Amino acid sequence: MRTALILAALALPLPLAAQDTPDVSLTRIDCGQATEPMPLGGFDDTGASDGMTRDLVVSCYLIRHGDDLMVWDTGIDPATSGDPDGGFSMGETLVQKLAQLGVAPADVDYVGISHYHYDHVGQARDFPQATLVIGRADWAVIEAGSPWVNRDLFVPWLDGGAEVRQVGGDLDLFGDGTVKLLAMPGHTGGHHALLVRLADMGPVMLTGDLAHYTSNYEHDRVPTFNDDRADSLASLDRFKRMAEAYGATVVIQHEPDDIAKLPAFPEAAH
């Protein structure tokens, strides 16, 4: 009996610190800026933000996990840069930015998408060989066709030329706890945030569009265009509890003030 217990204990996964994990880094990449201060009424269904405006940014990220590379969110489509309907403009493309880091599109193993909205998927097709990692409910919307989605951005995966990894809940991408997609539905049905555990900086949590700017995050305000209000509030609560439990640095991806929480491009957090 004692031998069986010992063998069972040996089979348990080791704590993260005891594992021989690869080096992990996180680089923030500029993928767009608001062409002018955005009206905030639609970002808050309580009416508290009516008549207010503010600048927003579009952020992409490169995560290095040993020899594996993952891009998290891909910004706006360069073809829409400066379009008043989209509200964002950009200078260099994501591919051009990655080239400055010595990364070619073919080097990217995974493209992780927080959700299917245009300002998060605009350059996904520039990585046609990568595995697309996306919420299952969001992929269903893309496959079905929706006025929210430009299907041309997903041709490599819709045509079966590259793998799609559909995520129903949380996903520990590399199996060692360092890069984890967190199911945070509400903004869309398959919306995910991202947890990256760094050796020096510690845990960093990227929000996706759980909140678009600090005051909405702090006050649990829900955009009028979210899929589900109750799910949105539940996800905000879970995210905040996790951030507190982990002692994580929270980075709101559209918040200009949060850019400085990570090293300035081309430097990476470790």
**pLDDT tens sequence across 130-148:** 999 999 999 999 999 888 8
**Whether the model pTM is above 0.75:** yes
Least confident of 92-106, 136-150, 187-201, 210-224: 136-150
Assess if residue 137 is contained within a domain.
yes
Q: What is the mean pLDDT of residues 218-242?
A: 98
Q: Which of 20, 28, 44 is nearest to 267 (CA)?
A: 28
Alpha helices in 94-179 (DSSP H): 94-99, 118-121, 136-144, 155-158
The CATH code of the domain that includes 25 is 3.60.15.10
For residue 2, tell me if it sits in a domain: no
Domain-embedded: residue 268: no
Q: Looking at the domain assignment, is residue 83 inside a domain?
A: yes
- Domain span at residue 127 reads 21-261
Predicted confidence (pLDDT) at residue 11 exceeds the cutoff of 90: no
Tell me whether residue 16 is in a domain. no
Percent of residues, the chain, with pLDDT higher than 90:
88
User: Within a domain: residue 67?
Assistant: yes
- The pLDDT confidence band at residue 13, using thresholds 50, 70 and 90, is very low
- Mean predicted confidence (pLDDT) in 240-261: 98
In this structure, which long-range contacts are made by residues 230-236, counting pairs with CB atoms below 8 Å and at least 24 apart in sequence?
230/186, 231/185, 231/186, 232/186, 232/187, 233/186, 234/186, 235/184, 235/185, 235/186, 235/187, 235/191, 235/210, 236/186, 236/210, 236/211
pLDDT classification of 204: cutoffs 50, 70, 90: very high
- For residue 245, being part of any structural domain is answered with yes
Residue 269 phi/psi, 5-degree rounding, is -85, 140
- Distance (Å, rounded) from C-alpha 137 to C-alpha 191? 8
> Does residue 38 belong to any structural domain of this protein?
yes
Question: In the chain, how many domains are there?
Answer: 1
